[in-house]
Structure 1
Amino acid sequence: MPQFDPTHFPSQIFWLVVVFTTLFLIMWKFVLPRITEVMEMREERIGADLKRAEEAKAEAEAVLADYEAALAKARAEAQDILRKASDDMAEEQAKRIEKANADIAAKLDEADQRIAEAREKALSHVREMAGEIAEATVERLAGSADRKAVDAALDSVAK
């Protein structure tokens, strides 16, 4: 094998240095700057993406906070509406109860008046019946009775 022959070493070393230097210069001048540029672009893109992600996260948190505030406000409004409806219903119920109590009181007064009238009527009938019975009793016992005398006697007994 010729590459292992020591007589060929100087030419091989020469070509090794030339090829190595050429490849090194090509890599240093052309390839490495492009690789560095691509890596910097990727780094910038990743940084920009991270920044946008942080902004989106902050925006999402703000939207969530707004949503929770709106939800709390809606719950408070619902509680106010329920409380107002409950108060209105209680007020309406109190008015109905008051009206029913007034109606019942009016009916009781009317019933008391009818009872008083019925009592007066019954008492007048009792007085008339007592007068007739007393007159009939006096007629049986005495033979004749004066209606005015019987009424006067009944008036004195009633007082």
Structure 2
Amino acid sequence: MAAETNTEMDVVPHADGHAPAAEHTTATTEAHGSGGLPQFRMEYWGGQIIWLLVVFAVLYALLAKVFVPRLRQIQDTRAQTIADAVEQARRVQAEADAQAAAAKAETEDARAQARRVAADASAKAQANLAASQAAEDQRLQAELEKAEERIRIMRDQAMTNVGQIAADTAEAIVAKLTGAAPSRSEVDAALTARTPEGVA
């Protein structure tokens, strides 16, 4: 097909309108008749192999000297960044744990101190209350003893007055009935004999 096209394109009439000679057509057909890709022709394989080696060497040099080191550097940087981030996270976590432990210890100490203060205050309050109660009991006991003493004195005075009143009344009654006033000793003896036991 290519030979036919080339033959048709090469057949150009001369200026006088006549077709070219048959030899020209045959030469052109023979020149283009051995067509095809040059990559598959053995006479070109040597140059192709050389160029393949040159291109491979260039690509290998680019990969070995440029791309691979850059990729390795990027990977190393990324790995170092990740390792630094992990280490920093661990360090921050350790600091946070230490602070939490310290805060917990301080809280426990504060609670223990608060319990001690509360216990001391309760003990002091109990001691003060006991002392106040004892003092109040002593005061009340003293007041009671004083009141009992006053009651005893008042009772003795009342009994003395009652005895005197009874003696006077008896003396007046006897004097009215008999017409003669008895002596005080007789009246006292009679009242003493008539007084029940246990009455002062």
Compute the TM-score of the two structures, normalised by the length of structure 2: 0.68
Tell me whether 1:23 sits opposite 2:59 in the alignment.
yes
| Count of aligned positions | 158
Amino acid at match of 2:40: P
Residue ranges of structure 1 left out of the alignment (5+ in a row):
none
Q: Distance in 1 between matches of 2:177 and 2:68?
A: 157
* Matched residue type, 1:95: A
Is the alpha carbon distance of 1:43 and 1:3 closer, same or farther for their aligned partners in structure 2, counting shifts above 3 Å? farther
Instruction: Call closer, same or farther: CA 1:3–1:74 in 2, change over 3 Å.
Output: farther
Change (3 A) 1:3 1:120: farther
SS in 2 for 1:76: helix
**1:54 alignment partner, one of 85, 90, 113:** 90
Q: Distance in 1 between matches of 2:37 and 2:190?
A: 169
Q: Percent identity?
A: 28
Higher alpha-carbon deviation: 86-95 or 7-16: 7-16
Distance 1:57 1:4, change over 3 A: farther
Q: Which has the larger radius of gyration?
A: 2
CA deviations on 1:88-107 (whole Å, 9 max, x unpaired) are 11011101111211121111
Aligned partners of 2:37 and 2:58: how far apart in 1? 21
Whose helix proportion is higher, 1 or 2? 1
**Is residue 135–residue 146 contact of structure 1 (8 Å, CA) maintained in 2?**
yes
Does the 8 A contact of 1:135 with 1:150 survive in 2? Answer: no
The amino acid across from 1:78 in the alignment is: A
Cα shift at 1:14: 5.1
Q: Secondary structure at the match of 2:68?
A: helix
Task: Provide the alpha-carbon RMSD of the alignment.
Answer: 2.5
How far apart, in 1, do the equivalents of 2:37 and 2:108 lie? 86
In the alignment, which residue of structure 1 is the partner of 2:19?
none
Q: 2:40 — aligned with what? A: 6
The one of 102, 118, 123 aligned to 1:87: 123
- Which string of whole-angstrom CA distances, capped at 9 and with x for unpartnered residues, describes residues 17-56 of structure 1? 4334322221211111111012112212222222222222
Q: 1:101 to 1:156 in 2, by over 3 A?
A: same
- 1:43-99, CA deviations, whole angstroms, 9 ceiling, x for partnerless residues? 122222222222222222222221111111111101100000100110111011112
Q: Does the residue aligned with 1:107 lie in a helix, a strand or coil? A: helix
Instruction: Give the match for residue 106 of structure 1.
Output: 142
In structure 2, relative to structure 1, the CA distance for the partners of 1:13 and 1:3 (3 Å cut) is farther
1:123 maps to 159
The TM-score with structure 1 as length reference comes to 0.84
Give the Cα separation in 2 of the matches to 1:40 and 1:95: 81
1:128, CA displacement in angstroms?
Answer: 1.2
Structure 2: runs of 5 or more not aligned: 1-35
Equivalent pair of 1:138/1:144 in contact (CA under 8 Å): yes
In the alignment, what sits opposite 2:173? 137
Take 1:103 and 1:136, find their aligned partners in 2: how far apart are those partners?
A: 49
